[in-house]
Chain A
Amino acid sequence: MMAPWLFWIFALLMLIFGAAVVINRNPVASALSLVVSFLGLSALFISLDAFFIGIIQILVYAGAVMVLFLFIIMLLDLRAEKLRRINWIASAGGIVVALAFFIQVSYVVGHLKAASQGFPPLPKSTGDDVRNIGLLLFTNYNLPFQIIGVLVLVATVGVIVLSRKESR
């Protein structure tokens, strides 16, 4: 586990840049804030001794997803959006529903006994968690793993079909 102040620094980093994704008017700035937010999130994963998930998070999001987002934003040449008439009823509804969700979750967490306990120490080092996850993935979760492979194949074919120029 990490020192508590590191947890709060990375959590604040993640939340501030997550809010920046929503607040920024320029989509490029949103995409870059998304990457910083996910870097903070992967630091939190590593603070939970989930090294494999933390590394995968950086590789997939900073490496692949961010490049896709930026590529599409620049391909479509999107400018910062102009101010339009804001639909106040829809905005207020969105904020109210989001806040209601947060209040519900914090109520549940506040009444959860386990929530006020710290994490139990790990007697063994989990430096080989890639091995443990891999063992699970190829034994208990072998069928879902293969189905995920088919899903990725279908997504690839679907993207090619969608982005092909239509011949009329």
Chain B
Amino acid sequence: MVTLGDYLLVSALLFTIGFAGAMLRRNIIVILMSLELMLNAANLSLVAFSRFHVDRAGLPNYNAQVFVFFIITVAAAEVAVGLALIVALYRSRQTTHVEDLTGLKF
């Protein structure tokens, strides 16, 4: 039997992979992909909790699924803006490597 804990652990593992990617990788595009992984790990645990709380009418709790819908919309907008920023950055610096971008370093 698959339990709620299995879904939560899988979601935590996916978040950990995304977090490690955001910390370890030095390519901005791959960092953006790792952010997407983290957002979707949060979505998985939201949907698992939504399915776990069945109300009296026998339906899952749809509030969480509306939240996931909003998160997906915001994530798509974030990717579009992030990639536009990367293109603007590449135009002025010819790099996507974070260690070459030290203009804001104190």
Same complex: yes
Residues of A within 8 A of B (CB): 1-2, 4, 7, 11, 14-15, 18-19, 21-22, 27, 30-31, 34, 37-38, 41, 44-45, 48-50, 52-53, 56-57, 60-61, 64-65, 68-69, 72-73, 75-76, 78, 81, 84, 90-91, 93-95, 97-99, 101-102, 105-106, 109-110, 112, 114-120, 122-124, 126, 129, 132-133, 136-137, 140-141, 144, 148, 151-152, 155-156, 158-159, 162-163
Residues of B near A53 (CB, < 8 A) are 43, 47, 65, 68-69, 72
Q: How far is the CA of A122 from the CA of B59 in the complex (A)?
A: 7
Shortest 4 CB-CB contacts between residues of A and residues of B: A94-B23, A115-B5, A22-B21, A123-B58
B82-94 near A? 1/0 per residue, CB < 8 Å: 0111111010000
Tell me if B104 is interfacial: C-beta within 8 Å of chain A.
no
With contacts A144-B70, A159-B80 known, is A124 near B57, CB below 8 A? Answer: yes
- The answer to whether A56 and B2 touch across the interface, beta carbons within 8 angstroms, is no
Residues of A near B4 (CB, < 8 A) are 114-119
Of the candidates B5, B19, B57, which one forms a contact with A112 in the assembled complex, judged by CB atoms under 8 Å apart?
Answer: B5
Q: How far is the CA of A124 from the CA of B58 in the complex (A)?
A: 6
Question: Can you name 15 A-B residue pairings with CB atoms under 8 Å?
Answer: A1-B2, A14-B10, A15-B17, A21-B17, A22-B34, A27-B30, A48-B51, A81-B26, A95-B24, A106-B9, A106-B12, A118-B4, A151-B77, A162-B81, A163-B88
B47-86 near A? 1/0 per residue, CB < 8 Å: 1101110100111101101101110111111111101111
Main secondary structure of the interface of A (DSSP, over half): helix
Residues of B within 8 A of A (CB): 1-10, 12-21, 23-27, 29-30, 32-34, 36-37, 40, 43-44, 47-48, 50-52, 54, 57-60, 62-63, 65-66, 68-70, 72-81, 83-88, 90, 96-97, 99
With contacts A48-B51, A102-B13, A122-B60 known, is A34 near B37, CB below 8 A? Answer: yes
Residues of B near A60 (CB, < 8 A) are 72, 75-76
Residues of B near A75 (CB, < 8 A) are 87
